[in-house]
Structures are given as C-alpha cells and as structure tokens.
Structure 1
Amino acid sequence: MGIAEVEKSIQNELSLTILLAERVIKSAKEAESFKPENNDLASQVAQLSQHLRAIARLTTASPTIYDRPIRRVAADLTKSLDRALALCHKCKHKKTNVLRHVLSITTTTDFKKVGNLLESSSADVHWLLSIFKPDSENGTINLSLPPIASNDPMLAWVWSYIAAVQMARAEAAQGLATLAWGNDRNKKIIVEEKGIPPLLKLLKENSNPDAQNAAANALYNLADDQKRIKVIADAHGIPIIAKALSETPMRVQVMLVNLVSRMVEQDFEVQEEFGDENVTRQLVSLLGMDVDLEDFKDVGSSRTATSLHSLVHINKEMSRMVDSSLSSGGSLDGSRQYIGKKEKEREGESMEVKSKLKVSCAIALWKLARRSLLNSKKITETKALLVLSKIIEKEEGELQMNCLLAVMELATVAESNADLRRTAFKPYSSAGKAVLDQLLRVINEERSVALLIPATKAIGCLARTFPAKETRIIEPLVALVGDRNSEVAAEAAKALGKFVCDDNFNRKEHSKAIIEFNGVPKLMNLLRTSNRSQLHLHELILLCNLAINVGNSKSLEQERALSVLERAARHVVLQHPDLRELFSKAIHQLTLCQIGAHTQAHLGTE
C-alpha cells in the first residue's frame, strides 16, 4: 500500500467518524423526549468532534504520522457514536404516557451507559493529542494510560514510544529497546503495532548519533527471531542498515554491525541480501582501519603496492563515496571534506570503541561468510585475507579468535568450490601465503583450544590446495594428533583425512609424509586411549585411507592396523553403510600387503 493510499485511508476513517458525530448532534437536538439528557449528549459529542478535527488536521499536516492508535481510538469511538445515535432516534417522537413509563427507566440507564462510553472515548482522544505533541512541557514522553488500553497498559506505552520515534526522539527509541529486551510478548506487540518502519526511518533520516544508536539498539533487540527479521527486511531495512553503516560514527557502527551479525545468523536470505549491499567491503575496511599491510607489497608490482598502501591510509568505502558523489553531480572538494571529516572522527574515537568495532566486524564477517559462496567471494575479492592474517599475527584474545573463525568459514566454503580455492587461497599468492603462515604459526605455537581447532579445520578444508612438496603442513598436524586434548587431536585427524582421501590428487605423497612423521603410532594411540563409547569416525577414515595409499608400510603392520579396522568395521558400517566399500578396500589392501610381506620374509629365510 502506497503512502497516498495510507493518507486517504486514515483521512476517510476520521472523516466518517466526524460525520457520524455530526449526525448524533443533529439527532440529539431533534429529540422530543429526554431533552435535557439529549442536550448533554450533544454537548459531549460536540467537544469530541472538535478534538477529532484537531487530530484530522494533524494527519493532514504530517502525512507520515503514526496512525495505529488513531485507527484504534476512531474504531472504538465509532461504536460508541453508533450506540448514541440509536439512543437519540428512540427519543425523536413523543411517546404516550404508558410507553413513556415503560421506556423511561431503560432509556435513562442507556443515557448513563452511552455517556460513560463517550467519556472514555474523550479521554482516549485527549491522550492521542498529547502523544502527538512535538514535545511535552518537561521533555518526557507521555506514558499515561488511556481507557482504550486499560486492559493492556503495555500497548499504550508502545504506542507512545512509536509515536515519539516517528517524531525523531532518541529517548523513545531507547524506550522501545528497553521494552524489547528479553521480553517476547513486548517484541510481538512492537512489531504488530508497526514499530519497525519508524525505527528504520529514524536510522535513515536522523543525523543525531544518539538517535541512530538507540534505533539500532531497538532493532537489535527485536531481531532475534526469523519472523521479525523478515519484517525488518520487508520494510527495506537491509539497504537502510547498510547505508547507515557507511555513514555513522564508530559507536553507532558497533551496534549496526552487531545487528547485521544477529540478522544473518538466523536467515540465509538476509545473509545474501547484505552481501548484495556490499556490507562485506565496508566491514573489511573497518576491520583493517589500523592494519599496516606494507609487509605484503609485491615487489615490481606498482599497482598492487598502491592498492595495499591505499588500504592503510584511506578507507576504500570513502573512495566509493567520492565516485558516487561525482556521478550524481557532487563536487570533488565536498567529497574530500567528507573523507577528511570521517578521518578526524575516527582519530577522535577511544581505543575501547575501536576495539569493540573491530571485534564486531570480525564476528560479522565470519557469519556472513558461513555457507555463502556469494559473500565469501565478495570478502576475498577485497584485501580481507591479508587483513585477517595480520590481525591473527599481531593481536590476541577475542579479536584474534574471531578473525581466525572468519578464515575458517572462508576456507570451509572454498573446500567445496575450486574457483574460490584457486583465486583466494593459492599457496604462492600474497594472501594465500599469509593465511597459511598464520594458520601454521597458530598450530605450532598456540596452546589455546579455541585457536587450535579453527586453525586446524581451516587447513583441512584447504587440503586440496597444497602441492605434494608442502610437507611443512603435515608435520604439525601429525603432532596435534598426539595432543593431550582429545578434541584437538580428533580435529587434527579429521584434517589429515582430507589430505589422504580419494579426492586429493596428492594423497599418496601426503600419506607417505604422515608415515614419515610417525603419524600411525599417534593415531593408533588416540584410538586406543580415547573414550571407547565414541565411534571415532574421522580417525578410522584416516586409517583406512592410509591403508589404501601406503598399505605396505611397516608402521601399519607394527601397530596392528588390520585388526583395529576389522574390529571397528562392524560397528561403523552398521551406522554408516556408505563407508562399507572404504573399509573393505582398506582391509583387503592391508591383508594383501601383510601376506606379501610374510611370504617375502619366509623366502628370505630359505
């Protein structure tokens, strides 16, 4: 429904109610019985009619006025006026003495009832006028309780706050955020009463950072459910949020980035829509605001050097804004002033705000990348991998961990897409080498499980990227198979399994490297000492592939790999029938190799 239709609808609704009020007044004045009561009724309705006209003028002066409470009050008032009109019609002709005696008690009671209804409606209309004042005398929002909301006070509060948000009042948006925090019923009321469009309008059109931050906070508290997220998206919230992210101060950007994270976490369509709005580029730019990428400059490539240098000194999103400004008739000087202003704002922010923003951006990036080829491509087309690698190297704590998770999610998507692996994670490119170096450094030097697991997963996902001679990857993974933490050890075994599986062209060379680095004893020890109630599927798959690729290894025979696989096969195949062929092939290969080895040994003794 367009704006014009909404205006027409609310105007018509009020006009019909005003016309009905005029009919009641006329009918009351024409009454031939109970004239005092009818005169009082006419006076009461006349006052109501004046207030209704005042509300109608408000809707004309402010086409985007929040009309939900107006509609509810007008609908309730219409019912009261219908009862009043029916009562007046009863009094239009003189009654005989007998009829007058019969009807007088009932009619007097009816006048009292209708009077009470109109009195309540009058209080509702007064309340409406009060909430649409630009400012109350003491600057506070009217949270009084009108009769129409007596059974549900929260409804009146929501109406008051939304009306004030529509008038760009920051404290009202914060009030909605407070009501929505941790209360699903309040969230439902806010959405049903059309509170999301005014919040988005406040975010889009208001230049007051406090108001924008409050709006973003309220939207964040509402966006914890897929249905409510869809309401935000349907109200064109995604482009509004994306645009605000590129224009607001850092403290507002923190809340907006958190909002993006929450929305994409629960809705894949929203995740892709944010990618279409190029939110990923802005997030990478904010994440890398203090990152020095000079170490990664390619010697002899001035274009690459310039590109890298620009990321250190100039926010790429600002450059896009310059182009946009020029194409739309803006001046270059004006755009430069805008960039300069943003740079000064950035320099003036506290380290705490900068730190929060970077952590939020890292979280948003890995959530945007998760299971999304579109977003992963967009992220890696920037200098994101270089930025992430540098932060993993230099930072620690929450920021380091979330950057590592971002790399892991990108690698997970790349595992099933050869083009992304080749373009983003080529081992000898600046980005690919930087990522690999940091993943290996984490595996070799860190002892935190929270860091080791995503680093190990990422390397496993990229297993098909590495050439056979890249043996420096295998050794640290083998070492982790012997880690005291069973979760880390299992993840390392899973990663190694991807190096030796049938899909990996270099599986035989990688298998030999695992044997060379004493991987079989560590793997067998992991299988023997771990909880026997667990299936250890990935460890067994690794053992099967080693048996198939290098079944003649003495290490496999010495560690009794054949008997281990024979015992495990029955349990595994029952739960995973698709692995029957793998286990059969591995057992067959080990049996042949061991028979051959024993035959040669026997012939040698003769």
Structure 2
Amino acid sequence: MTLISTTTDEDTPLEEELSNPIQLAERVSNSATESLSFKLDCSEVAKHVDRLSVMLRALHRFTTVNSSVYDRPIRVISSEVSRTLLRAHTLLRKCRRRRTSFLHRLVNLVTAADFRKLLSLLEASSADLRWLLSVLHVDDYYDDSNNDDDVVLSLPPIASNDPILAWVWSYTATVQMGPALLGRVEAAHEIACLAQDNDRNKKMIVEEGGVPPLLKLLKEGNSVEAQIAAANALFNVANNEERVRVIVDSMGVPLIVHVLGDSPMKVQIKVAELVARMAQFDAGVAKEEFGRENVIRPLVSLLSFEMFEDEFEVIKKKQSIHSLVQINKDSKQSKGSVSLKPKSYSSYSSFSSLYSDGGSSRGGGQTRKERENESVEVKREVKISCAKALWMLAKDSVMNSKRITETKGLLCLAKLIEKEKGVLQKNCVMAVMEITSAAESNADIRRSVFKTSSPAAKAVVEQLLRVIKESGDQSLQISAVRSIGSLSRTFPARETRVIKPLVEQLSNKDHEIATEAAIALGKFADPDNFLCHEHSKAIIEFNAVLPLLRLLSESEKAQVYGLLLLCYLAINASNNEALKQARVLTALEGADQTPTTHHPRLRELIDKAMYHLGLYHGDIHPFRQSSMRI
C-alpha cells in the first residue's frame, strides 16, 4: 500500500471542501433506497454513509463557527472520504435495475466481494473522521447516539502506513486549537522532538502547516513555557533555507524580533538562538529581513546588559556633594534652571540606558529588577546566544555588519572578548571577524568605523592582539589573525605593533595558524595596500624572513601564501640586507619549479621578485637576463 498523498487545493474554501462529501453522502443514500438488487448490502452501505454524513455535518458546523481551524487533516481526510463515497455511489447505481439478461449481468457485474471491500473502505473513512473529530475537539457539534463504537483510535487508518503524519496532525492541531495552554505546550514539545529526529519529519511538519501555529504560540506573552517550547520547535525545524523561508513567509521575522525585545531572559535565550539559526541557513532573505526589522538593537542591548554598571558606579562616586552643589549654582546663574546631574553623569546615564535596558523598550516581559535577579548562568546564556546571532547576521552581510557598528556593538564585543572565556568569547571573536571582513570589502565601514581615533576600533584591535598573543585556542587565534589581516588597510605606517604578533605566529608550531599569519601579513604587503612598502619593511625588521622560508616546506596552502608574502617583501623592499642574508633569491629560484606556482598570480610574482632581488643582490646571485620573463 502506498503512503497517502496530502496534496490538497489550499485555495478551495474549507466549507466548500466539506460540502462535496456531504452531497455525495446524500446521493449514495438515495441510490441505496432505489436499489433492486443486493438490497441488504445496499442497506448496510447506507447505514455507514449516514454515519459519515452525521460526522461530516458536525465538522462543517465546527469549521463554520471557528475561524482559526487547523485545516490540513480536514482537507486530506475529506478528500479521501469523497473518493470512497464516489466509489459507493458508482456501485449502488449498478444495483438500481434487475439483472434480466446475460448481457446486462456481464456489463453491470456486481459481486458480494465488491460490497465487502466497499464496507471496509467506509469503516476506514468512519474511523478517520472519528479520529479527526476527537483531535479537533468537536464534541459540542457531534452527537451520534446510534454509534455503538465509542472507541477512538490513536492512529487513523489513513495514516496507518505513516504514523508520523498522524502525530504531526494531532500535535499541530493541539498547538493551534487546544483548549488548555498546558496541552498546547506539551504538543509543541512533541513537535520539537519529532523535528529533532530527522529531516523527513521536519519537512512534514512544515508541509502540514506546523509553522503558523508555532509562531502563534511563540507570541503567548503570558507563558514562558509556551514561548520556549515554540522557539525550540521552530529552531529544530529551521535547518535549511527552504524551511527558514516558510517561517519568513509566515511573517515570523517581525514576531520573533518583537518577542526577543519584550520577553523574559529565558525566552530571549531561545529566540536569539532561533535568530542565529535562521540567519545561518538563509543568508539571503531571512538575514535581510532581520536587518530591516532592526533585530540588531535588542541583540546588542542584551549583550551589553549590566556591562557598564561598574563604570557607571565609578562615575557617580567621583562626583562629590560639593561639586554637585557648585554645578547647580552655576546652572542657576546661567540658565535659571536647576540640574542635579553633572554633564558626565548625564551623558553616561544616557549611554547606559541605551545599552543596558535588557532589550525591552515596550514595558512587557521582565522588569529591570527581575532581569538583574536572574541567575548568572541565565545572563551568560543570553549573551552567548546573542553573540552567536550577531555572528550569523554579520556573516557575508555588509549591511548587518554596518548596523552592528552603528549600535556600538563593536565596543560590547571588545569588552566581552576581554572579560569572558569559552563559548561566549569565541562567539564574540567570530562576530568581530565577520565585521572586519565586511570592512575589508567596504571602504565606508573602514573609514567610518575603523579609523584610528575610534575608541571602539582601538578596543577591538587591542583584544584581537591579546588573543593572538595569549590564547591557546586554535580557532580563536585564527579568527583574530584573520580580523587583523582584514583591517590591514586601516593601520598607518607607525602602527607596527599589529605586525609583530603576526610575524611571531609565522613560527607557530600549528601550521594552520602560521599559514593564516602569512595570509594576513600578505594583505599588509600587497601592492594594493597604499602603505605596502612601509609595512613590508616592518615585517622584515621583525625577523619574518627565516620563519617564512621554513613555512615553504609545509603544506601546499602554506607554500602558496608563504611564497606570495615572500614575493611581496622582495618587490617592496628588494634592497633589504635581511633578504640578501637569507638567500631569498635562491629560495625563489627553487620554488619557481614547484607545482604550487600554478596559483594564478604566483608565477608572475616570483619572476618579478627574482628580477628585483637580482638587481640589488647580483654579486651574490647573478641574475641572468635570459631568465627574466617579465
């Protein structure tokens, strides 16, 4: 037996969808009364059909009164019932005449086996409808005193070959229409568990209309448990672009942003994780929608919750009573008005309120005192999930990266990198890496955000350098190295302090870190960098040549980027004695024959570097004109 198809015409009104089998049931009943053969069998069919008619009419009344009905199982089961009734109608029409001739009997062949199969189908349809009525809680609209079978199956016959379908229908109907909140929460938990099992279940949940009821439950502001259950279920479903788009198309993004900014912290943890998940798997529409709905602001606000409290207290303590009185006197003389707050206090208070309100600006969710009383673990989880969301939103998105910098998110990330460890620190470093990557490709962000006078930019660079020097985590170091490399065009020639840590990493025992350091330094020495000559001299002065030559004996990737950097140094600082002493020209001549020179630019750069070195170091290594290919 094949699995039941749940493809239905969603544009057809539900009342019309139910009217069709009701009309068919009436025709079958009329045909049963007109039958002239197999009268007992036709009478039995009529009884089953009358029972179906009663349930269909009850379902019709229920859907007419209730506007928000979960209609997927109704449409599928109604369609199957219609097919069964049409089959019954066709069979009973053959029994309306007596079989008088052999030819008539041959053309209208009806057997007892046909009735047995039809009765079996009618019983299955009846069981499907009883299950549907019980799931939708249609008790007030259905009273069948003639039905002796009071057993309601937990699995309808229509889903006998695919029980997951019945569970999805049942749980989704409960989430959308359940009379008790507790039951709706439990059903959402069950959907989350189903979605966690495999992708087929996730696909089924989405196809059977499970997303809108979950979004509706997420909006339940009076129940933390309901919001968490809905967020978990949506999180488990949203692991590919197609399913994320369904959430977006169901107007989920504005609702998610609203809940994120206006809910208790335990809910905000799960909602921020959902934001990160959707941004991760849909780099296009979802990420843009979240940006337009200004999700960055509540995320940064939650990330910085209580971050500036200590500094705020220091500012208050510095203000003595005498200074406050004097300021008030000056204020009266100049403006005739009284101000009890010094300028520094007022400005910091404004900044603190902007980034320490916990994300709630509408008065809902928790009060500030309730947020402050949350456990340290909950506060940390909020920051972990928000940092992850910022990371995913900034990834490959110049606009979202710019929005983060406009909300002072960089300063928050820098402070957390400084103070935190583990997952939170890693998420913050990764977010910074994506923002700096956007700055590398966008001159406006470089000029406006990462200018040398920017306190946020200074703080970020300081923490990135500290991670490079002190962290023992490979992924953190690589991310920090990449970030510094992305900012290579923002550093003036005097900022050699950012170059030294990168040069030191060329000797790192971890060859991946050493390779990333060579890539980052290559961006400093690249001819496209306006200060490439000054940076190249600084790189050589920090003794980069020898470890760079050792890097050429490592993996192919290390060889390629090591040679690129070496060529840049040779071109930009050909007359440097360190290159002469390290016999770089010899190394380049040997590398000219290796497979790594298949890199698009590498062979040309090697020839150019050998030419420049030959001009300055011809006494050590005569450069033959015949070997020059540029």
TM-score computed with the length of structure 1 as normaliser: 0.87
Partner of 1:430: 455
More deviation in 295-304 or 574-583? Answer: 295-304
Measure how far apart 1:559 and its partner are.
0.5
Q: Which residue, out of 253, 257, 264, partners 1:238?
A: 253
Q: Which residue, out of 367, 381, 391, partners 1:342?
A: 367
Partner of 1:152: 162
Partner of 2:287: 271
Output aligned runs, 1:255-404, within 5 Å: 255-269=270-284, 270-292=286-308, 305-311=348-354, 313-315=356-358, 317-319=359-361, 321=362, 335=363, 338=364, 341-404=366-429
Partner of 1:186: 201
Structure 2 vs 1, CA of residues 518 and 41 (structure 1 numbering), >3 Å: closer, same or farther? closer
Q: Deviations over 1:406-448 (max 9, x none)?
A: 1111111101111101111112211111111111222233333
Q: Deviations over 1:98-118 (max 9, x none)?
A: 899999994433333322221
Partner of 1:413: 438
Does 2:588 align with 1:565?
yes
**Aligned mates of 1:574, 1:457 — CA distance in 2:** 24
Partner of 2:45: 41
**Aligned mates of 1:240, 1:546 — CA distance in 2:** 54
Q: Which residue, out of 188, 191, 196, partners 1:173?
A: 188
More deviation in 576-585 or 388-397? Answer: 576-585
In structure 2, what residue type is equivalent to 1:155? L
**Aligned mates of 2:605, 2:139 — CA distance in 1:** 75
**Aligned mates of 1:268, 1:180 — CA distance in 2:** 22
In structure 2, what residue type is equivalent to 1:555? A
Measure how far apart 1:8 and its partner are.
6.0
More deviation in 488-497 or 366-375? Answer: 488-497
Does 2:173 align with 1:163?
yes
In structure 1, what residue type is equivalent to 2:73? P
Output aligned runs, 1:477-492, within 5 Å: 477-492=502-517
Does 2:78 align with 1:78?
no
Does 2:574 align with 1:551?
yes
CA contact (8 A) 2:446 2:490 kept: yes
Structure 2 vs 1, CA of residues 509 and 52 (structure 1 numbering), >3 Å: closer, same or farther? same
Structure 2 vs 1, CA of residues 532 and 29 (structure 1 numbering), >3 Å: closer, same or farther? closer
Partner of 1:332: none
Does 2:138 align with 1:128?
no
Number of residue pairs matched? 570
Measure how far apart 1:266 and its partner are.
2.2
**Aligned mates of 1:565, 1:30 — CA distance in 2:** 100
CA contact (8 A) 1:180 1:186 kept: yes
Q: Which residue, out of 466, 479, 503, partners 1:454?
A: 479
CA contact (8 A) 1:293 1:387 kept: no
Percent of pairs identical after alignment? 51
Measure how far apart 1:191 and its partner are.
2.1
SS in 1 for 2:618: helix
In structure 2, what residue type is equivalent to 1:287? L
Gap regions ≥5 residues in structure 1:
137-141, 322-334, 600-606
Q: Which residue, out of 579, 585, 592, partners 2:608?
A: 585
**Aligned mates of 1:588, 1:481 — CA distance in 2:** 26
CA contact (8 A) 1:548 1:585 kept: yes
Measure how far apart 1:201 and its partner are.
2.3
Q: Which residue, out of 48, 53, 57, partners 2:57?
A: 53
Measure how far apart 1:95 and its partner are.
4.8
Partner of 1:216: 231
Measure how far apart 1:467 and its partner are.
0.9
Measure how far apart 1:130 and its partner are.
0.4
Q: Deviations over 1:313-346 (max 9, x none)?
A: 434x434x4xxxxxxxxxxxxx4xx47x432442
In structure 2, what residue type is equivalent to 1:310? S
Partner of 2:25: 21
CA contact (8 A) 1:223 1:262 kept: yes
**Aligned mates of 1:304, 1:493 — CA distance in 2:** 44
Structure 2 vs 1, CA of residues 553 and 301 (structure 1 numbering), >3 Å: closer, same or farther? farther
**Aligned mates of 1:499, 1:418 — CA distance in 2:** 16
Partner of 2:92: 88
**Aligned mates of 2:163, 2:375 — CA distance in 1:** 41
Measure how far apart 1:29 and its partner are.
2.1
CA contact (8 A) 1:123 1:146 kept: yes
Partner of 1:327: none
Structure 2 vs 1, CA of residues 573 and 129 (structure 1 numbering), >3 Å: closer, same or farther? closer
Q: Which residue, out of 241, 244, 268, partners 1:226?
A: 241
CA contact (8 A) 1:134 1:167 kept: no
Partner of 1:474: 499
In structure 2, what residue type is equivalent to 1:163? A
In structure 2, what residue type is equivalent to 1:185? R
**Aligned mates of 1:429, 1:293 — CA distance in 2:** 22
**Aligned mates of 2:22, 2:573 — CA distance in 1:** 91
Measure how far apart 1:23 and its partner are.
1.6
Measure how far apart 1:128 and its partner are.
0.8
**Aligned mates of 1:167, 1:451 — CA distance in 2:** 47
**Aligned mates of 1:416, 1:304 — CA distance in 2:** 34
Partner of 2:148: none
Measure how far apart 1:468 and its partner are.
0.8
Gap regions ≥5 residues in structure 2:
1-8, 141-151, 179-183, 316-341, 623-630
**Aligned mates of 2:166, 2:605 — CA distance in 1:** 66
CA contact (8 A) 2:58 2:138 kept: no
CA contact (8 A) 1:143 1:160 kept: no
Partner of 1:67: 71
**Aligned mates of 1:513, 1:254 — CA distance in 2:** 46
In structure 2, what residue type is equivalent to 1:479? E
Structure 2 vs 1, CA of residues 167 and 345 (structure 1 numbering), >3 Å: closer, same or farther? farther
**Aligned mates of 1:281, 1:117 — CA distance in 2:** 58
**Aligned mates of 1:458, 1:105 — CA distance in 2:** 81
CA contact (8 A) 1:547 1:556 kept: yes
Q: Deviations over 1:152-186 (max 9, x none)?
A: 22211111111111125111111111111131222
Structure 2 vs 1, CA of residues 423 and 293 (structure 1 numbering), >3 Å: closer, same or farther? farther
**Aligned mates of 1:438, 1:135 — CA distance in 2:** 65
